[in-house]
Amino acid sequence: MANTILVGAQWGDEGKGKIIDVLAERSDLIVRTAGGNNAGHTVFIGPKKFVLHLVPSGILWPDKRCVIGNGVVIDPLSLVEEIAMLEAAGVTVAGKLFVSETAHLVLPYHRLLDEQRELRKGKHKIGTTKRGIGPAYGDKAARVGLRMVDLINPPRFEALLRQRLAENNQVLKAFGAKPLSFAKVHAAYRAAGDRLQPFVTSTVVLLHEATQRGAAVLFEGAQGTFLDIDHGTYPFVTSSNTTAGGACTGSGVPPNRMDRVVGVMKAYTTRVGEGPFPTENAEIADLLHGMGREFGATTGRPRRCGWADSVVTRHATMVNGIDTLAVTNVDGLDTLETLKICIGYRRGTETLSHVPCDLEVLAACEPVYAEFPGWRTPTDGIREWKKLPAKCRAYLRALAELSNAKLGIVSVGPARDQTIHL
């Protein structure tokens, strides 16, 4: 398989983990390039459920190499815990996982600052995962971050941590929060550094050599297009570039090495956290939550749910260059009598066909819907496109056409084999 960038086309949780696991079979390397342990990617191997936060979902294949690229922010304690979880489940990690030496660290003061900033925002909060992601990327941009290469250099780590902790403790005190103990943080993170040291390498060189030899690389996106710091519904976004360009900057693999972009979307829409969501719908939320679905993989929060929105997914095609669309969770809509797809946003007498960047304008928009008859029959046992109900095929064709991309994969259940390739 050619070098493929996989992105989320909505607000995250599109089912990227499942599709990565499926596409990994034909890839040699799987690379995470942005975000941190705010991500939660669910993969089922038979009845066993794995939720991956930092380690690429390809790790569950015995013969694939996985890379955590320079664009990711790593909480070392969380990564150590995830590796332990995988090893306890019988998954080999040593020799298969490579961690960028230039990836930035998430440290305890980032988590505390994330929490404090959210508290201060009150009802205007973003609804972050409180994993310290925003403050860690903030330090990276402000050039005061610590990197993996610092973590594994004990004297340098000690000096840098001492300096950074002193400054951040002042900020925490100003927030009215308890300052952190240098000795405790240092001991815990140095231990994690020793554990992670064997995984740390120049992943840029590793990826360059692999692509030179013709290896097929799959770039595992995290979050979704509308959580992108530049292209999302700012400020209700995460702090990294979650769109296709982030795969290049977050890995050091140049754009002319990339062959295609796969966009993953749910057959409906979900969003966790605050921020605009034009097609949000309480009935769909009740239906899906009633089925025990749509609870956050990282924080367990119930996800907000709504109709599919082709203004959103068309915009995602525009900014990511999506060639192939993978539509997941089609089976979630099996019982509905009528389905809706948003085809435009009405604002006064105008109909917008792109997502406006001004959130006040977006809030004033009314979705315009096209209606589709429901297929009202289970799809989770179907494995061929032709065997899907005709009404389901019509709905999926419309989704792809309205999203300006070619339908390539349909997912009708969380398992590997519940996948239809077109």
SS3 category, 175? helix
Please report whether residue 412 would count as binding ligand GDP according to CB under 6 A. Answer: yes
How many residues sit close enough to ligand IMO to count as binding (CB under 6 A)? 23
Cα separation, 341 vs 311, in Å, equals: 9
- List the one residue from 73, 112, 133, 248 that touches ligand IMO (CB under 6 A): 133
Active-site residue among 41, 53, 231, 315? 41
> Is 231 buried (19+), middle (13-18) or exposed (0-12) by CB count in 10 A?
buried
Residue pointed to by tokens 């508290």: 119
286 labelled catalytic: no
SS3 category, 103? coil
Ramachandran class of 214: left when φ > 0, alpha when ψ lies in -120 to 50, beta otherwise: left
Please report whether residue 297 would count as binding ligand GDP according to CB under 6 A. Answer: yes
Please report whether residue 246 would count as binding ligand IMO according to CB under 6 A. Answer: no
Residue 217 binding target from ligand IMO, Mg ion, ligand GDP, none, CB below 5 to 8 Å by type: none
Ramachandran class of 302: left when φ > 0, alpha when ψ lies in -120 to 50, beta otherwise: beta
Which are the contacts of 406, defined by CB distance < 8 A and separation ≥ 6? 323, 324, 325, 400
Please report whether residue 56 would count as binding ligand IMO according to CB under 6 A. Answer: no
- List the one residue from 33, 38, 116, 169 that touches ligand IMO (CB under 6 A): 38
Please report whether residue 304 would count as binding ligand GDP according to CB under 6 A. Answer: no
Query: Candidates 121-129, 199-207, 395-403, 412-420 — which segment interacts with ligand IMO by CB under 6 A?
Result: 121-129
Query: Candidates 234-242, 310-318, 351-359, 410-418 — which segment interacts with ligand GDP by CB under 6 A?
Result: 410-418
Q: x/- site string to ligand IMO, residues 279 to 318, per CB under 6 A? A: ------------------x---------------------
Please report whether residue 275 would count as binding ligand GDP according to CB under 6 A. Answer: no
Cα separation, 330 vs 339, in Å, equals: 12
**Distance of alpha carbon 11 from its chain centroid, rounded?**
9
Please report whether residue 196 would count as binding ligand IMO according to CB under 6 A. Answer: no
Cα separation, 231 vs 236, in Å, equals: 11
The one-letter amino acid at 370: A
Using alpha carbons only, what angle is made at residue 289 by residues 285 and 290, rounded to the nearest 5 degrees?
Answer: 115
Closest CA to 272 of 308, 247, 296: 296
Q: Across-strand partners of 308?
A: 341
41 labelled catalytic: yes
- List the one residue from 4, 7, 10, 12 that touches ligand IMO (CB under 6 A): 12
Please report whether residue 131 would count as binding ligand GDP according to CB under 6 A. Answer: no
Task: Report in angstroms how near the CB of residue 135 gets to ligand IMO at its nearest.
Answer: 9
Cα separation, 243 vs 238, in Å, equals: 12
Residue numbers at the binding site for ligand GDP (CB under 6 A): 8, 12-18, 40-42, 297, 328-329, 331-332, 411-414
Residue numbers at the binding site for ligand IMO (CB under 6 A): 8, 12-13, 38-41, 126-129, 131, 133-134, 222-224, 227, 238-239, 272-273, 297
**Residue positions annotated with a catalytic role:** 13, 41
